[in-house]
């Protein structure tokens, strides 16, 4: 990994932790957008999967662990990272597709984990239905942050091109 990839990844890490813990309301988080965006800023496949999962782990250290459901949360984040590698071609359109697909994947996997753990719902359909408002906010935040990350990368590329031409 070169220093440029490392600096972008560290900045993204700090930015996501700060926003998700101190600024954003519940279920409005940049974590899925970050997992989707990692292939845009790094060719390091280990980093692409490790960074989003490590952010989840660090926030869980601060907020507390929540049992067996965590396996579904971490597993879905890894699957989202793998999906991002295959769908993303560097375009805004592929980023949008990854965002929508990833939140649907998250919704299905994590809420199945909630249901399996018997956290108060009578059926899987009820669990999925009750999660829709939360996961809708997650979809909005994923789309917004994916766009912010994409625009930031494009501005960075343009700034580098201007510097190179000077």
d(CA 4, CA 41): 9
d(CA 146, CA 126): 30
Average pLDDT per block of 10 residues along the chain, 166 residues long: 70 73 76 89 86 86 84 95 87 92 96 88 91 94 91 83 69
pTM of the model: 0.82
- What crossing angle do the helices spanning 45-63 and 31-41 adopt, rounded to 10°? 160
Q: What is the pLDDT of residues 82-101, one digit of tens each?
A: 998 888 788 889 999 999 99
Hey, how many other C-beta atoms are within 10 angstroms of the C-beta on 125? Answer: 10
Alpha helix ranges (H) inside the chain: 3-18, 31-41, 45-63, 69-87, 92-116, 124-165
- What crossing angle do the helices spanning 31-41 and 124-165 adopt, rounded to 10°? 40
Q: What is the pLDDT of residues 143-162, one digit of tens each?
A: 998 998 898 888 888 877 77
């Amino acid at each position: 990994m070169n220093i440029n990839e490392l600096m972008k990844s560290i900045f993204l890490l700090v930015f996501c932790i700060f926003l998700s813990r101190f600024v954003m309301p519940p279920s409005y988080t940049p974590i899925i957008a970050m997992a989707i965006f990692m292939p845009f800023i790094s060719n390091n496949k280990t980093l692409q999967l490790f960074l989003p999962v490590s952010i989840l782990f660090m926030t869980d250290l601060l907020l507390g662990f929540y049992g067996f459901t965590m396996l579904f949360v971490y597993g879905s984040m890894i699957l989202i990272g793998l999906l991002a590698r295959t769908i993303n071609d560097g375009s805004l359109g592929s980023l949008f597709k990854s965002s929508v697909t990833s939140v649907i994947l998250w919704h299905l996997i994590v809420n199945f984990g909630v249901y399996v753990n018997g956290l108060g719902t009578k059926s899987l359909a009820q669990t999925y239905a009750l999660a829709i408002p939360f996961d809708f906010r997650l979809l909005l935040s994923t789309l917004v942050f994916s766009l912010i990350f994409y625009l930031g990368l494009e501005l960075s590329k343009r700034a580098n091109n201007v510097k190179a031409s000077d």
